[in-house]
């Protein structure tokens, strides 16, 4: 029998689910091997009988919690899909502002209609089995994880930093171009997407395990930059890590 899988979203731009839909030809192989029973962005049919749940988005309000716990109870395997789900992502920017002001800024005189609380990744609420990192997720990595799950294997996700991939690609370091970069402490796996296009890494794949923050500080110092100058960049995706530490 084919494994039944379902996709869910919480606070997100739905760009990671769009990456799934964009798989097109590659997805056909996967679709043949699984039974997708719920995927709001791509289909109208809906069943709550599933074994693998892919969850996109971060948790930003009280009523998200029982919904996420219900998904966790049903799913034998729960996979966090994209930076909003894996690390809190850009939604955590609001955690650095008074929440009442944020609510009024977004919803104006209807602010009281919408509840909010500090944003958190999904593993702050329920246990997560596997993570597909990035903003958005990388299609190749998604396929790799899905294929591993279908084979009953643990997906291999890099634990080394972006700098390794960046150097392998022969890129000019963006520090040499006068920019800051979180590559020394960010988990690889995107092929150093941004530095390859002369942009800095903003950390969307989350921190490596035991990040060497001293190495990051030394690189900043070497190029005459301060930690404060890098903090704004750090908060784009990694704000939850900063608040939670
Ligand atoms: S991780 Fe990025 S692309 Fe994916 S849902 Fe969140 S904001 Fe959108
Ligand atoms: S600091 Fe950034 S640009 Fe420099 S090598 Fe590392 S990932 Fe590449
Ligand atoms: S280089 Fe950094 S910011 Fe860019 S996609 Fe990779 S992890 Fe994300």
Q: Does residue 164 carry a pLDDT above 60?
A: yes
Nearest CA to ligand 2 atom 2: 183
Q: Does residue 221 carry a pLDDT above 90?
A: no
Q: Does residue 174 carry a pLDDT above 80?
A: yes
Starting at the edge strand found earlier in the chain, the sheet holding 35-39 runs 35-39, 4-9, 52-56, 77-81, 130-132
Identify which of 164, 193, 234 to mutate to test ligand 3's pocket (most ligand atoms within 8 A of the CB): 193
> Domain coordinates of the chain in residue numbers?
4-150, 162-244
DSSP letters, 178-211, are T----GGGBB--S-SHHHHTT-----TT-BPSS-
- End-to-end Cα, the chain, rounded Å: 44
Q: Does residue 147 carry a pLDDT above 70?
A: yes
Is residue 198 classed exposed, middle or buried when 0-12, 13-18 and 19+ CB atoms within 10 A define those classes? Answer: exposed
Region 35-58 average pLDDT: 92
- The string of pLDDT tens digits covering residues 73-124 is 999 999 999 999 999 999 999 999 999 999 999 999 999 999 999 999 999 9
Q: In the numeric block, which tokens belong to residue 169?
A: 């690609």
Look at residue 237 in the predicted model and tell me its pLDDT: 92
Look at residue 245 in the predicted model and tell me its pLDDT: 52
Listed residue (218, 234, 235) closest to 226, CA to CA: 218
- Distance (Å, whole) CA 79 – CA 86: 9
CATH superfamily placement of domain 4-150: NADH:ubiquinone oxidoreductase-like, 20kDa subunit (3.40.50.700)
Q: In the numeric block, which tokens belong to residue 89?
A: 């992502």
CA distances from 227 to 42, 169, 182 (A): 43, 27, 11
User: Between these two residues, 13 and 230, which has the higher pLDDT value?
Assistant: 13
Q: Is 166 in the pocket of ligand 2 (CB under 6 A)?
A: yes
- Ligand 3 nearest-atom number relative to CA 134: 8
CA torsion through residues 181, 186, 192, 193, sign: negative
226: confidence class by pLDDT, cuts 50, 70, 90: confident
| pTM of structure | 0.92
């Amino acid at each position: 029998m084919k494994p039944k899988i379902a996709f869910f979203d919480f606070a997100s731009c739905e760009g990671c689910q769009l990456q799934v839909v964009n798989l097109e030809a590659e997805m056909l192989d996967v679709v043949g091997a699984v039974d997708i029973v719920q995927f709001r962005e791509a289909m109208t049919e809906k069943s709550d009988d599933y074994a693998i749940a892919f969850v996109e988005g971060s948790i930003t309000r009280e009523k998200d919690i029982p919904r996420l716990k219900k998904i966790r109870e049903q799913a034998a395997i729960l996979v966090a899909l994209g930076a909003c789900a894996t690390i809190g992502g850009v939604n955590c920017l609001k955690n650095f502002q008074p929440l009442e002001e944020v609510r009024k800024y977004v919803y104006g005189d209807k602010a009281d209609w919408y509840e909010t609380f500090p944003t958190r990744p999904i593993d702050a609420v329920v246990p997560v089995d596997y993570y597909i990192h990035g903003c958005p997720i990388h299609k190749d990595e998604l396929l790799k994880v899905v294929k591993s799950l279908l084979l009953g294997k643990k997906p291999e996700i890099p634990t080394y930093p972006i700098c390794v991939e960046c150097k392998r690609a022969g890129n000019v370091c963006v520090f040499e171009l006068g920019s800051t970069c979180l590559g020394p402490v960010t988990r690889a796996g995107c092929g150093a997407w941004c530095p390859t296009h002369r942009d800095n890494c903003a950390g969307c794949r989350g921190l490596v395990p035991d990040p060497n923050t001293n190495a990051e500080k030394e690189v900043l110092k070497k190029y005459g930059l301060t930690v404060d100058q890098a903090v704004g960049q750090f908060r784009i995706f990694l704000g939850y890590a900063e608040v939670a530490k």
